[in-house]
A and B are shown apart, each in its own frame.
Chain A
Amino acid sequence: MGTGTSIGRVRGLGSAKEGAHHWLHHRMTAGSNFLLMGWFMISIARLPAYDYATVRYWLSSGWVAVPMVLLILSVFSHFRMGLQTVIEDYQHDESRIVMLVLRNAWTYGLGAIAIFSILKVAFTGAAA
């Protein structure tokens, strides 16, 4: 072990033995985001109107609700990892832990609302 510098303290310990999974999963979800967001942007652009009845009818279809749930899962797990990277770069010590916990609450909280909303519309149908 070295002289108490940050590099000295970790020299000889080898690699972190983890991290490759985070990196790979970030790339995998980038690919699925590209496909799902491409579908979403084209679908939104091609909607005949944006009033309540039209939008609800659109979302109530299984052909929309299923990819929409996949989009939430893919996009949210991607941005959860992205926020982690940003937080770990700029926040140290206690504030890092606080920010990482807040990020989990944000991602899972919003994600649960999104998926619940999609499924509610899909299961209760267009007329409501």
Chain B
Amino acid sequence: MATRSSARPISPHLQIYKWGPHMLVSILHRATGVGMATVGATVLVWWLAAIAAGDAAYATFRHVFVDFAGGALGYVIGIGLTLTFFQHMASGIRHLVMDTGAGFELKRNKMAALATMFVSVALTALFWLYLGLK
């Protein structure tokens, strides 16, 4: 890779193509995956370790995500992570379908890409509505 001559032609990249939902969902799949592997894993492991460490450690966790600034951090990270999870899940299911060779027709591919975003927003709204109405 590094030894490639800069004089040689390369294939067209992102700037050549018209932006579409399939491209957005593709990069969102990466971004959401990396987000969960970093921020999501940190919050989950902090939560588990706090439960294991005892009452005081759990109180610190609760303070940061529930009490601090009216729970603003908890809502931003909580809603952010659930939306991130559902987007990655819906997009992942689309990937499994496309792995079978199905769904590459232009119109169907675009519809499925849009559907992953509708599904992730809807499931996130349902999840937090359920929590709120409990």
Nearest residue (CB) in B for A71 is B44
Q: Chain B residues with Cβ under 8 A from A83's Cβ?
A: 33-34, 37
State in angstroms the CA–CA spacing of A61 and B92 once bound together.
31
Q: Interface majority SS on B: helix, strand, loop or mixed?
A: helix
Q: Decide yes or no whether B99 CB sits under 8 A from chain A.
A: yes
Q: Are B1 and A110 in contact (CB under 8 A)?
A: no
Q: Decide yes or no whether B14 CB sits under 8 A from chain A.
A: no
Q: Interface majority SS on A: helix, strand, loop or mixed?
A: helix
Q: Decide yes or no whether A73 CB sits under 8 A from chain B.
A: no
Q: Are B1 and A56 in contact (CB under 8 A)?
A: no
Known A-B contacts A5-B4, A79-B36, A86-B30; A114 and B44 likewise in contact (beta carbons under 8 Å): yes
Instruction: Return A120 CB to nearest CB of chain B, in Å.
Output: 4
Interface residues of A in 93-117 (CB under 8 A from B): 93, 106, 110, 113-114, 116-117
Q: Are B34 and A37 in contact (CB under 8 A)?
A: no
Pick the contact of A59 from B42, B45, B51 — CB < 8 Å?
B51
Q: Chain A residues with Cβ under 8 A from B36's Cβ?
A: 79
Q: Chain B residues with Cβ under 8 A from A27's Cβ?
A: 96, 99
Segment of B16-24, B53-61, B110-118 engaged in the interface with chain A: B53-61
Known A-B contacts A45-B127, A79-B37, A82-B37; A114 and B58 likewise in contact (beta carbons under 8 Å): no
State in angstroms the CA–CA spacing of A92 and B62 once bound together.
41
Interface residues of A in 1-30 (CB under 8 A from B): 4-6, 27, 30
Known A-B contacts A82-B37, A92-B1, A92-B2; A114 and B54 likewise in contact (beta carbons under 8 Å): no
Interface 1/0s, chain B 48-70, versus A by CB < 8 A?
11011111001100100010000
Q: Chain B residues with Cβ under 8 A from A41's Cβ?
A: 82, 85, 127
14 residue pairs of the A-B complex, CB under 8 angstroms, read A6-B4, A55-B51, A59-B51, A86-B30, A86-B33, A86-B34, A92-B1, A92-B2, A113-B48, A116-B52, A117-B48, A117-B53, A121-B51, A128-B54
Write the residues of chain A forming the contact surface with B, with a CB cutoff of 8 angstroms: 4-6, 27, 30-31, 34, 37, 41, 45, 50, 52, 55-56, 59, 68, 76, 79, 82-83, 86, 92-93, 106, 110, 113-114, 116-118, 120-121, 128
Besides A5-B5, A37-B89, 16 other CB < 8 A contacts? A27-B99, A41-B85, A50-B62, A52-B51, A52-B58, A55-B51, A56-B58, A82-B37, A83-B34, A93-B2, A113-B49, A116-B52, A117-B52, A117-B53, A118-B52, A121-B52
